[in-house]
């Protein structure tokens, strides 16, 4: 199983020391660019789920022209 845990920078070193004591846990920090890419992928995944909800009528969409006018 893979987990992503967001920890404050000031507490990360201590947390890494704790989990290194477990032989069955492998942990490595993400670089800032990798973390940003992961967040972007998560947002894209959420957008696709929302499209499915809009198509099924569970969520209301809005016209693309309205979105472009906001930009």
pLDDT tens for each residue of 33-64: 998 998 999 999 988 888 888 888 888 878 88
Domain range for residue 69?
Answer: 30-71
User: Total domain count for the chain?
Assistant: 1
- Residue 39 is assigned to a structural domain of this protein: yes
The tokens for 44 are 């894209």
Q: Which 8-state DSSP code applies to residue 23?
A: T
| Sign of the CA dihedral running 26, 29, 31, 37 | positive
In a domain, 4, yes or no: no
14 in any annotated domain:
no
Give the separation between CA 66 and CA 58, rounded to whole angstroms.
20
Give the pTM. Answer: 0.54
1 belongs to a structural domain = no
Q: Using alpha carbons, select from 44, 30, 21, 36 the residue that is nearest to residue 2.
A: 30
Residue 19 is assigned to a structural domain of this protein: no
């Amino acid at each position: 199983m893979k987990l992503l845990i967001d920890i404050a920078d000031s507490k990360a070193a201590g947390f890494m020391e704790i989990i290194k004591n477990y032989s069955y846990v492998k942990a490595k920090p993400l670089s800032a660019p990798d973390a940003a890419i992961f967040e972007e992928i998560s947002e894209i995944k959420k957008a696709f789920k929302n499209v499915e909800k809009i198509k099924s009528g569970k969520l209301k969409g809005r016209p693309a022209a309205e979105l472009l006018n906001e930009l």
